[in-house]
Structure 1
């Protein structure tokens, strides 16, 4: 029964992912026609690195809460669960991670806490890196979004262990759940922030590889790409009512790229980025699932010759 539910979850998630591509197919083809094979490959590799940074952010928080997981099982839980973001509704990824994590001995409340903590960590680190890189690359380009950066001081206060542990405790009491056995530490939060910053940097390189094909290059453009991607993604994170921030992130990216690209080129860049990220999600989920299965098979039969 569990296997059937998992297969159904994957099919539904993949179906919505395919719809996201098919609904913009003509524009997608037009955008990809301007990309060379090396640029596409470099962009995809950078996305995979960025997604791994996101996984390590979540894994660091989960470990700090008391459930350290080896890399392979953690990757499977995170990446397969993340496919749920393509299904309308914001709770599918956390529900999937809670169920798969439970099979590895992770309490549901701990999985949920790590999931929901990952969002403010990504939001805070994304706003910080976007503010710095946009200011360094193209002063004034972040001015229209100054209101977003007002969240940074709030998030800095929230990341104080005493504050965030108090908030978690209050939420669990309201939900009539058992309190967390281990509170978050400053070291755990800083580790998660470090992995998140690495992820944003990789995402920026992914965008820079695409923008390079539209005639823009240089160190300042790489910095601008990092800031543009992080800012547009943060705006998407703050929109929970659509699957994976669909449409919101792309619209924000088009607006943020306006100082350096015309509208048509910006739309093409945003759509190409979207498709490469979908491909990256599928690559990571497939690779993590296959790697975890091989590890389980190896433990069951460490020497295949003995089974003969």
Structure 2
């Protein structure tokens, strides 16, 4: 089923993907057109169990009308609807991590076909992509924005940075991209892309949806695609570098015990966590030390860990 991206006003349209097992209902998207202007695509739910981001986009859809938009705004609250409806990170049909499948494959698995629809059919209708994630049940994170840009992108890099600052989240991070993510593939194809991250755990804590919803309104008003006054609040974002040495990883399986708090400043060599090995609780726990100075911006929420699991990370102030 084709999406009518030119339809005037506000429309809610079904996403239906053809698969080998027949048509697959893959959620809905909202398209709002109101004359010439900026064109922005906002998505959430690429990982199905990251619900704060999805709820923030549902809130955005509810407040939109044609008069509030200047140009075109496309919102996909549950970009991986089969996973969202199943309460899992990945869709039950194939177990594929959608954010490692872009630009997708129209003849592939259901997840690859859905990624191909987002990349080939939806993304070209926008000049800027905003992909909103949250920590899911496995991680809890500070609210951050980061972006990817290429020489063919229609939105200048300086404007992308100004928009990240307009979100007024606590942190803007600078990190290497992954080509098979939506933001990485979009930038390589000529569409500037911003990703928002934060919150997480198995509960939606008070205010976490507000953080994303308010940040999006501030950014969209700044970019000119949304009319009105941006929400008050927010903060002046701190710029952080996030490199491989900022990551904490488990060297042994066991039970995780964090020894630092979110937002805490650590130095190289500081103890950030310990792992109590299974079957070895009578001995000393395994130490996990910071490999770089920085501010703790993400921590694993699950108690059990396996070797190689990411336990969290810091960002080093610029």
For this structure pair, what is the TM-score category when the shorter chain's length is used for normalisation? under 0.3
User: Normalization by structure 2: what TM-score?
Assistant: 0.24
By percentage of residues, which structure has more helix? 1
By percentage of residues, which structure has more strand? 2
Asked which structure has the greater RCO (Cα within 8 Å, sep 6+), the reply is 1
User: Normalization by structure 1: what TM-score?
Assistant: 0.25
